[in-house]
Amino acid sequence: MTLESLIATARAQGASDLHLEPGLPAALRVRGTLKTFGEPVPSRTLADIARETIGAAEWPRFLERRSYDLSRTIQGVRCRINILQTSRGIGFAIRLLASFQATIEKLNLLPDLKRLVAAPHGLIILSGPTGCGKSCTMAALIQEINLTDSRHIVTIECPIEYTFRSKLSYIRQREVGRDTPSFEQALIDALREDPDVLMVGEMRDPPTMQLTLTASETGHLVLATMHSATCAEALQRLVSAFPSEIQNSVRAQLADCLVAVISQRLRYRPDLKIRVPELEIMLPSIPVKNYIRNGDFFKIAQIMEVGAEQGMWTWQRYANWLEKKKDWHIPDASEQADSDPVEGTSPPPLPALSGAARQSGHTEPARRAPSPGGEGRGEGGPIPASHRPGGPIEIEPVEGGLSALIKQLGEK
């Protein structure tokens, strides 16, 4: 059993995620549902795969943090990989990214999004829960700029998920933890690097949020993501992250620089056999700006209901548009990403970042509960009831935990 063979199986099954845990069968998330397959994966096997994937130079960093993020192309698939220590040993949470170059058309997104990225400066916030396709949509927006305008684009990501080949635009991509110690430092650097467009992979903390707002006010178009269920909630969460004594100025700053807020979720279409993105789009009309300045975020939904003429989209209005849509793009196995020829290679080694700097470059993996209704059979035959998504999963910690695994690997 190798990571390459597991990725190949996941790709063949059309999975968006692959989960590996010692003592449990591999699990695939297919169309939002978690399904297990094969025999339980031995703890020693996953430990060996983890050490080979991370590499000897970065292995001490994993031992220090008990988690490690990276992205890599495996079996022709761009993968975002989180390696984590659990009670059973070393596990993997792997996101399989789209095998084609993400564009607005290929993701079946609303063409109106093209007008948003044409703005010369300001802030575009893309929000949604984990696993809703924010990374793909963000890549499509960057690619739209790349294909239509000559701009200097700097992306700050953790890790880099989609690589871009410069077309009309000049694109630089920086990975937190490898190319820069933190989002905050990368944003400070970017203000001296003459960018036209900045892409912030995630606004995680007040310093990053403040620098993002500042960049959007100083003549840059900034695209950033955050976790929230609606557009109004995204704005409220952003403002609430700051101390109460400066929230008034943050709201005023946000109202002045905002270009749009996009909230996204995925819905499976049985007729198309694909998941399609549903959007809620809020634009900064005069009433919306007033509500932001006053902190009346709960009133924004009312404006969006009657804001169709201004280009706003509610969930229901967007669902109606999807029902009328005819020109669907259905991905097939023959499509390949139009990515950089050196994709998947590593840059020359640099001195390791300090412990404090490394700490800001990695986050804890998102935890998801298994979805009900998974299939009850895997490649190795029937799966025991204790391992089926609908049944209980018994977890027995490996005796000795990580220390025992490290000792075993040292004796190998």
Q: How confident is the model at residue 32 (pLDDT cuts 50, 70, 90)?
A: confident
Q: What is the pLDDT of residue 275?
A: 87
Give ranges for CATH 3.30.450.90 in the chain: 3-98+361-411
Q: What is the pLDDT of residue 337?
A: 44
- At what angle are helices 231-240 and 247-257 packed, to 10 degrees? 140
How remote is the C-alpha of 236 from its chain's centroid?
21
- 159 and 346 Cβ atoms separated by less than 8 Å: no
Q: What is the pLDDT of residue 382?
A: 38
* Average pLDDT of span 223-238: 94
**Mean pLDDT score of the chain, rounded to an integer?**
82
CATH fold group of domain 3-98+361-411: Beta-Lactamase (3.30.450)
The pLDDT of residue 292 is above 60: yes
Q: How confident is the model at residue 31 (pLDDT cuts 50, 70, 90)?
A: confident
Helices vs strands, H then E, count in the chain: 14, 15
Mapping DSSP to helix (H, G, I), strand (E, B) and coil, where does residue 302 land? helix
Express each pLDDT in 55-113 by its tens digit: 999 999 999 999 998 888 888 888 989 999 999 999 999 998 876 678 999 999 999 99
Q: How confident is the model at residue 171 (pLDDT cuts 50, 70, 90)?
A: very high
Surface-to-core class of residue 174, CB atoms within 10 Å of its CB (0-12 exposed, 13-18 middle, 19+ buried): buried
The DSSP bridge partners found for residue 85 are 90
Q: How confident is the model at residue 159 (pLDDT cuts 50, 70, 90)?
A: confident
As a whole-number percent, the residues of the chain with pLDDT over 90 amount to 60
The pLDDT of residue 12 is above 50: yes
Give ranges for CATH 3.40.50.300 in the chain: 113-324
For 113-324, CATH gives 3.40.50.300
* Average pLDDT of span 7-21: 91
Q: What is the pLDDT of residue 369?
A: 40
Q: How confident is the model at residue 409 (pLDDT cuts 50, 70, 90)?
A: low
AA identity, residue 398? V
Q: Which of 53-67, 237-251, 295-309, 370-384 has the lowest mean pLDDT?
A: 370-384
Q: Is the pTM of this model over 0.75?
A: no
SS3 of 113-142 = HHHHCCCCCEEEEEECCCCCCHHHHHHHHH
The pLDDT of residue 286 is above 90: yes
Whole-angstrom Cα Rg for the chain: 22
